[in-house]
């Protein structure tokens, strides 16, 4: 028949947690199998070492404070999360629970330590914290804010950079739907209202750009994306999504449109003949000055290449220079050459050819500037 001591010994030896008996000066007196497995040492090896030998240096202070408080009797037990050093030098996180055993005269005899391996728990917590930090950084970098509107109360709960996107202080009170609509630019307000109503009632998706007016009167562009969530009965209950600041990209787009418009007007209305030429030397776009110069309509010229209207005696040199231009061997070239007009007449022109590149620096068009030098 098993005695109580035998039962306690079996519990000690086969517990799922690491259990150890430690002397007052830090040497192990007894350890169970689980404790040895966690540290990678046999019991006999551990008995030649002290607890400090398997404790990460950064945890020394907290371990020492807990030990001192147990000895002083100011606490009856001590728990902490600490890092243990295995025999192979690797680290694992353990939850350490300690108590002090005293004799009948209340004199300290030894410590009892129980250790639970919490490495996976720590990794999961750190992964969550890292994910939250990355999300916060991404929100700030992208000027992104999250919103969640309760459709029964019309209260909007927000997070991230949301308040900053509307020019509000970070501790500004929660907005009602009416207050939010009031911040939308008046020219966009009804359109936004209609789109939201349509999303809630029919599409369940919200995706649009609109302007908001900050308290200081400045106007900013936002991109809004969201989804309507239904309750158990299939009725819209929440409307949640993100806002993204696109003011700068709108400014860039506007500046690009203005630049393109200026180029278009110069191209179409300029006194010199102008043409965009592809890598196959075909005309892609021509202006009215060039059409008048050679007597062809725009529709006719864009079906032709510059070889079709170049005098045969001048063609070889022109083609060779164009080839070198598109290969990047020369930045531009100038050439005095002859064009053949639609009516068969020959005119002398000065040609200046250069390249138009895209934002990545890749050539997309040749630009030909043509001056009629027959007069004078």
Alpha-carbon distance of 79 to 73, in angstroms, equals 15
Which of the following CATH numbers is that of domain 126-249: 3.10.105.10, 1.10.3720.10, 3.30.70.270, 3.30.450.20? 3.30.450.20
Which residues are paired to 236 by β-bridges? Answer: 230
Find the range with the poorest average confidence among 250-264, 267-281, 311-325.
250-264
CATH 3.30.450.20 maps onto the chain at: 4-117, 126-249, 270-372
Q: Indicate the pLDDT class of residue 143, thresholds 50, 70 and 90.
A: low
Task: Express each pLDDT in 186-218 by its tens digit.
Answer: 999 999 999 989 988 888 888 889 999 999 999
Distance CA 11, CA 291 (A): 101
- What is the second-level CATH architecture of the domain 4-117? 2-Layer Sandwich (3.30)
pLDDT in tens, 266-280: 777 778 888 889 989
pLDDT for the residue 9: 63
Domain spanning 270-372, CATH class: alpha beta
pLDDT of residue 125: 74
Burial class (CB in 10 A: 0-12, 13-18, 19+), 204: middle
Instruction: Write out pLDDT tens, residues 13-69.
Output: 656 788 889 999 999 898 888 889 999 999 899 888 999 899 988 888 998 999 999
Q: Is 139 a residue whose pLDDT tops 90?
A: no
- 75 versus 357: the higher-pLDDT residue is 75
Residues 155-195: pLDDT tens digits?
Answer: 888 877 788 889 888 888 888 888 889 999 999 999 999 99
Which H, E and C letters describe 117-144, residue by residue? ECHHHHHHHHHHHHHHHHHHHHHHHHCE
Q: Quick check: helix, strand or coil at residue 190?
A: helix
- Please compute the mean of the pLDDT values over residues 321-327 and round it to a whole number: 91
pTM over 0.95: no
Predicted pLDDT of residue 320: 94
CA–CA separation, 48 vs 54, rounded Å? 12
Strand 108-117's sheet: what is its strand order? 28-31, 18-23, 108-117, 91-102, 77-85
Mean pLDDT over each residue of the chain, to the nearest integer:
85
Closest CA to 364 of 285, 290, 287, 258: 285
Query: How confident is the model over 79-127, as pLDDT tens digits?
Result: 889 999 999 999 889 899 998 999 888 999 999 888 988 888 877 777 6
Residue pair 51/67 in contact (Cβ under 8 Å)? The answer is: no
* E strands present in the chain: 18-23, 28-31, 77-85, 91-102, 108-117, 144-150, 155-160, 175-176, 205-213, 219-230, 236-245, 273-277, 283-286, 332-340, 346-357, 363-372
pLDDT of residue 376: 45
């Amino acid at each position: 028949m098993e005695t109580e001591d035998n039962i306690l010994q079996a519990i000690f030896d086969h517990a799922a947690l690491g259990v150890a008996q430690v002397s007052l000066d830090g040497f192990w007196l007894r350890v169970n199998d689980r404790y040895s497995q966690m540290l990678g040492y046999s019991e006999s090896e551990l008995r030649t070492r002290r607890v400090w030998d398997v404790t990460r240096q950064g945890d020394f202070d907290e371990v020492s404070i807990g030990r001192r408080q147990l000895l002083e009797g100011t606490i009856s037990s001590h728990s902490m999360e600490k890092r243990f050093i295995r025999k192979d030098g690797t680290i694992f996180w353990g939850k350490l629970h300690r108590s002090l055993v005293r004799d009948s005269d209340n004199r300290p005899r030894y410590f009892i330590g129980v250790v639970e391996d919490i490495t996976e728990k720590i990794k999961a917590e750190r992964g969550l914290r890292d994910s939250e930090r990355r999300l916060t950084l991404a929100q700030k970098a992208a000027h992104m804010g999250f919103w969640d509107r309760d459709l029964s109360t019309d209260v909007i709960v927000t997070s991230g950079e949301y308040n900053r996107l509307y020019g509000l202080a970070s501790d500004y009170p929660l907005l009602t739907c009416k207050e939010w609509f009031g911040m939308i630019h008046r020219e966009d307000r009804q359109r936004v209202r209609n789109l939201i109503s349509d999303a809630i009632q029919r599409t369940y998706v919200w995706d649009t750009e609109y302007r908001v007016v900050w308290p200081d009167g400045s106007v900013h562009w936002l991109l809004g994306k969201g989804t309507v969530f239904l309750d158990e009965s299939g009725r819209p209950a929440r409307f949640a999504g993100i806002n993204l600041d696109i003011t700068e990209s709108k400014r860039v787009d506007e500046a690009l449109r203005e630049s393109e418009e200026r180029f278009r007007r110069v191209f179409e209305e300029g006194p010199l003949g102008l043409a965009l030429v592809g890598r196959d030397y075909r005309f892609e776009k021509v202006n009215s000055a060039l059409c008048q110069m050679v007597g062809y309509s725009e529709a006719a010229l864009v079906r032709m290449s510059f070889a079709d209207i170049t005098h045969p005696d001048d063609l070889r040199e022109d083609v060779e220079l164009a080839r070198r231009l598109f290969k990047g061997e020369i930045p531009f070239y100038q050439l005095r050459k002859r064009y053949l007009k639609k009516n068969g007449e020959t005119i002398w022109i000065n040609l200046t050819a250069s390249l138009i590149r895209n934002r990545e620096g890749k050539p997309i068009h040749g630009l030909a500037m043509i001056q009629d030098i027959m007069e004078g």
